[in-house]
Amino acid sequence: MSYDPNKHHRRSLRLRGYDYSQAGAYFLTICTYNRQTLFGEILDGKMQLNQLGEVVAEEWERSAQIRQEIELDYSVIMPNHLHGIVVINNVGANNPVGANGRSPLHDHFVSRHQTPLRMKPRSISSLMAGFKSAVTKRINQIRYHGEQLATSAPVWQRNYYEHIIRNETSLNQLRQYIIENPLKWEIDQLHPNNPSKW
């Protein structure tokens, strides 16, 4: 099938015109590819991470260590997704270095028929790209016993969900949602046995 820009375009989930590098708090959800349960299981209302889930936990914590502008608030790794609250502050805003966490800033192409997308340093998209890439690389090394793959096997869905947290009430509600998420796994819309609006 040939490329048709009217059919084969990806709709952005981001708020048009919003600067996702500005200081503020964000609620993020990242799902596994095809909602595969890769990271462990829920037992007695608690998440039990497996080896792949431990990789996700380590890389999530490392995100704040390698990015001065990022502070991690509440988060939970579920069998097939991660919820996290991230705070971006203005640390280093006057000293841009042209990098996105681990690698030099470069163009990302959605397809060979579209124009390149630039990730803004110190932004949510930059954080997500670096985090997802680091996790995918490490998980594929585990899954394929260190063999070099011609292409990376997918771990994550292509996009992520974000919500701009605008006040303390919303922040507290989202923190409670994260705390209770393992307890409500059986009715979670991201549970593989439940129909999802995503």
CATH code of the domain in which 50 resides: 3.30.70.1290
Exposed e or buried b per residue across 101-118, where buried means at least 16 C-beta atoms within 10 angstroms of its C-beta:
beeebeeeeeeeeeeeee
Residue type at 153 in one-letter notation: A
Establish if 9 belongs to a structural domain. Answer: no
* Cα gap 100→124, rounded to integer Å: 10
Q: Is residue 17 part of a domain?
A: no
- For the entire predicted model, the pTM comes to 0.76
Instruction: Let me know if residue 36 belongs to a domain.
Output: yes
% of the chain with per-residue pLDDT over 90: 58
Quote the longest CA-to-CA distance of the chain. 49
Cβ–Cβ < 8 Å for 168, 183: no
Domain ranges, residue 58: 24-187
Does 197 map to a domain?
no
Is residue 148 assigned to a domain? yes
CB-CB contact of 87 with 20 (8 Å): no
Helices 51-66 + 124-143 axis angle, to 10: 150
pLDDT in tens, 37-51: 999 999 999 999 999
From CA 148, how far away is CA 136, in angstroms rounded? Answer: 13
Tens-place pLDDT, residues 173-183: 999 999 999 99
Question: Is 152 inside a domain boundary?
Answer: yes
Structural domain includes residue 157: yes
Mean pLDDT by 10 residues, the chain (198 residues): 45 48 86 96 97 98 93 97 93 46 40 48 88 95 77 88 93 97 94 78
* CA angle, 112 then 116 then 117, to 5°: 130
Structural domains counted in the chain:
1
CA 157, CA 54: separation in Å to the nearest integer?
19
Residue 135 within any structural domain of the chain = yes
